[in-house]
Structure 1
Amino acid sequence: MAPYASDDAVGAERDEDPRPGRRKAARYAVPVAVVGVAAATIGLVPALADSGDPDLPRISAQQLIEKIARSDVQRLSGTVKISTDLGLPELGGLEDKLLSGAAGGSGDGSSADPRARLTELVSGTHTLRVAADGPDRQKLSLVESGAEYSLIHDGKDVWGYDSKSNQVHHSTTARSGRDRGAEPPATPKDFAEQALKSVDDTTSVTVDGTAQVAGRDAYKLLIRPRQSGTTVGAISIAVDARTGLPLKFTLTPSGGGAAVVDAGFTRVSFAEPAASTFAFTPPKGAKVTEGTDGSARPEHDRAGGTSRHGAPGHAPRPGGEAARGLSGAEVLGKGWTSVATFDTGAHGGLPTGAKGGDLGGFLGSIGEPASGAFGKGTVFSTRLVNALITDDGRVYAGAVTKDALVKAADAAK
């Protein structure tokens, strides 16, 4: 084990791309406020990172979170493998309709619209190629068998291209930086940011040794809820020892088994990507649909059709972030067992008959009856986020167990 070095000393080591005078850009990091929250909830005594993997200077959890917050990686390229297992049943094609509806899309929309297309990341295993050159140039490609979907941000232009259907979705943005409204979390950094927002006094945060990820030396940050009743077991984040960039994110459920989310680089380079990486011209004969700055209004495409836009899909959020992720919801409780609740205004239970259609039949087939002081309802369970819909039209949802949902509904009465 190397002698103890302060986090500043570790961070002083420079990685590739040591160019002087490079332009200042939006940081690829968690808000600095996270560091202040974490300081009050985790031990400050340095933990030995001595798992037998890379021999790195010891570092405390607080120092490691500070390293993530200071990380300013602006240029990279690499490959990310992401696996998501929420334990959803096979839906026989209905999942496409549900995901499209959640993204605000429709059957006649562009297959290249990122807000509908990238909802594929909420299930299964996928390979992504990613590249970035500052806040105004990024590319993410979803690699499939015999086809590829690419999302390219180059200056004010945002392009989505589906090679299988030869369709293009184009929009412009006046905002600098990555267009978060157009895509769900996809990289380890994206997931790590959301997980660190859940760190409070209901959380244990420690350094859990070291690891090698994509050929890079990394520290492992371990986040565990201190509360019972949550479906989150633990979150492990592998943090690059030099740059502070999260290289791998793994969320395991309290019920055991495979990870719910496992996203990590299999290859990464911090060299400047070629300018051609971010250049895009619609292929000949492609159908191009025009949008504007993430607009939610319909836009006519060049082929005379129409595409519709709506709220983007999102990958699962851990802990209290799952509850806070629902717009307009009231949050009950604290920390990892917090539950979001809102009134749908739809009394009479689940949708059925002509109005309910496939959705009503699907929900009825996978739901589990529940009752309590709140009345009666149906619980819909995944391995992470669960929801209770009461017969009077109220919804309770969070990364909590069925018993915790019922308890929250009872207490709200």
Structure 2
Amino acid sequence: MATNENRQRKASRYVVPVAVAGVAAATIGLVPALAASGDPDLPEITAQQLIEKIAASDTQTLSGTFKISTDLGLPSFAGLLPAAPSGSSSADPADKLTQLVSGSHTLRLAADGPDRQKLTLLDGSDEYSLVHNGNDVWAYDSKSNEVFHEKADGKGPKPEDTKLPGTPKELADEVLKAAGDTTSITVGGTAKVAGRDAYQLVIKPKQSGSMVESVKISVDASTGTPLKFTLASVDGGKPVVDAGFTKVDFGKPEASAFDFKAPKGAKVTEGAAEKGAHEGADKPFGGLGDLAGLGGFGAGPDGKDGSVNVIGEGWTTIAKLDSGTPAPKTDEAPKEVQGFLDALGDKVSGKFGSGTVFKTKLVNALMTDDGKVYVGAVTPQKLVDTANAAK
């Protein structure tokens, strides 16, 4: 169970850096409209030129409203999550922002340079606000009338510490080179997004066996700021993640937008500063790049003793973990947990033996009865084929 200290992670980790605010909001994802007669007539542009345009974007100020909807195809977690430990705050971003991984939500965003950002999550008449202003990070949950406060330590990565290509063109070249034979990157027409003209960048796997059908990013034609994005699954139906700006203004927000004063009678919890570097602390969204390549697992040579062996490349990369112990039997789990696992899992068998595939619309995992685990953003059949080939 998570400790109080772990739950009181740095709130500053969850504040979107302004220089990439548009990118971050877009990377949560919204399905761009299909080409229609109302789409803007813009000058032709290549995929490389559009990537260069994104890289050259220097959006420092903006305000707007965007919507997020996520659908991983998971059954309800109701009744499965443990209660928050005594002494924790309902306003702690480490817990509150996990709401964004399911359902539909409306947010308001304001940003003014790297030191001032505000995000407000609207839920009916209730609001949850996260404010970064200078050295302070505040979070307020109106439903519980609780406040979470922490000092920003300024220990994030510095621009000079980040090794990137020197120009937008060089960056675009590197992106296209990295895509290589596994990825198709094209421009898929234009669209109106939040009242602005936008190009659509379409990214698709060339490899078979990936759960990703496509990634689409709508890019503001004037500023190069991504405005919305979709991640669609080969399973079809609703996008895995669907979000994007419905209103956006690139003007400078009023300074008062970032002021915060704890409401009268509110319970204020001071966050405990973490000791040492926290893995992924410099990645506001948990390091999405690592998910694509599974590069953050620290692969071992054979996947034993808790280390991970990475199999394959690109969109069909699979991580193999050998726990060294037989898989737990779901029929021995508590009734409510057993129902949840049964809704997720399918029994499978092959040369590897037998096991269970736990499914979502994006990431699937095969747990064999002898304790091996194969996981990746690939189809269940790809997992079974990989397990068979390992024999």
Q: Which amino acid aligns with 1:129?
A: R
1:175 positional shift: 2.3
Tell me which of 5, 25, 28 is aligned to 2:20: 28
Counterpart mapping for 1:116-265 below 5 A: 116-175=95-154, 199-265=179-245
1:322/1:258 Cα in 2 relative to 1: closer, same or farther (>3 Å)?
A: farther
- Please state whether the residue corresponding to 2:294 is helix, strand or coil: helix
1:383 positional shift: 1.2
Q: How far apart, in 1, do the equivalents of 2:99 and 2:19 lie? A: 27
Question: What is aligned with 2:51?
Answer: 65
Gaps of 5+ in 2: 1-16, 24-34, 158-174, 300-307
The two structures have a TM-score, normalised by structure 1, of 0.72
- 1:408 aligned onto 2:379: no
1:211 positional shift: 0.8
1:166/1:357 Cα in 2 relative to 1: closer, same or farther (>3 Å)?
A: farther
Tell me which of 260, 263, 267 is aligned to 1:287: 267
1:29 positional shift: 8.3
Question: What is aligned with 2:341?
Answer: 363
Contact 1:119/1:313, CA 8 A, preserved across alignment: no
1:264/1:107 Cα in 2 relative to 1: closer, same or farther (>3 Å)?
A: farther
1:146 positional shift: 1.3
Q: How far apart, in 2, do the equivalents of 1:288 and 1:295 lie? A: 22
What CA deviation, in whole Å up to 9, does each residue of 1:341-393 have, x standing for no partner?
A: 22445533346657x68545532453111222333221111111111122233
Q: How far apart, in 2, do the equivalents of 1:135 and 1:127 lie? A: 23
Contact 2:116/2:132, CA 8 A, preserved across alignment: yes
- The size of the alignment, in residue pairs, is 336
Tell me which of 260, 282, 294 is aligned to 1:323: 294
- Please state whether the residue corresponding to 2:119 is helix, strand or coil: strand
Q: How far apart, in 1, do the equivalents of 2:203 and 2:222 lie? A: 21
What CA deviation, in whole Å up to 9, does each residue of 1:251-299 have, x standing for no partner?
A: 11112222111111000001111111111122222222222445699xx
1:312 positional shift: 10
- Please state whether the residue corresponding to 1:159 is helix, strand or coil: strand
Report the RMSD for the aligned CA atoms in angstroms: 3.5
Contact 2:290/2:296, CA 8 A, preserved across alignment: no
**Stretch of structure 1 that moved more, 324-333 or 263-272:** 324-333
1:233 positional shift: 0.7
- Please state whether the residue corresponding to 2:263 is helix, strand or coil: coil
- Higher relative contact order (Cα pairs below 8 Å, separated by 6+ residues): 2
Question: What is aligned with 2:76?
Answer: 90
1:357/1:283 Cα in 2 relative to 1: closer, same or farther (>3 Å)?
A: farther
1:176/1:265 Cα in 2 relative to 1: closer, same or farther (>3 Å)?
A: farther
Q: Which amino acid aligns with 1:54?
A: P
The two structures have a TM-score, normalised by structure 2, of 0.76
1:74/1:314 Cα in 2 relative to 1: closer, same or farther (>3 Å)?
A: closer
Q: How far apart, in 2, do the equivalents of 1:261 and 1:318 lie? A: 16
Contact 1:349/1:389, CA 8 A, preserved across alignment: no
- 1:386 aligned onto 2:371: no
Contact 2:74/2:344, CA 8 A, preserved across alignment: no
1:50 positional shift: 9.9
Q: Which amino acid aligns with 1:28?
A: V
Question: What is aligned with 1:21?
Answer: none
Q: Which amino acid aligns with 1:334?
A: E
Question: What is aligned with 2:355?
Answer: 377
- 1:342 aligned onto 2:321: yes
Q: How far apart, in 2, do the equivalents of 1:142 and 1:315 lie? A: 19
1:225 positional shift: 0.8
1:29/1:342 Cα in 2 relative to 1: closer, same or farther (>3 Å)?
A: farther
Contact 1:122/1:315, CA 8 A, preserved across alignment: no
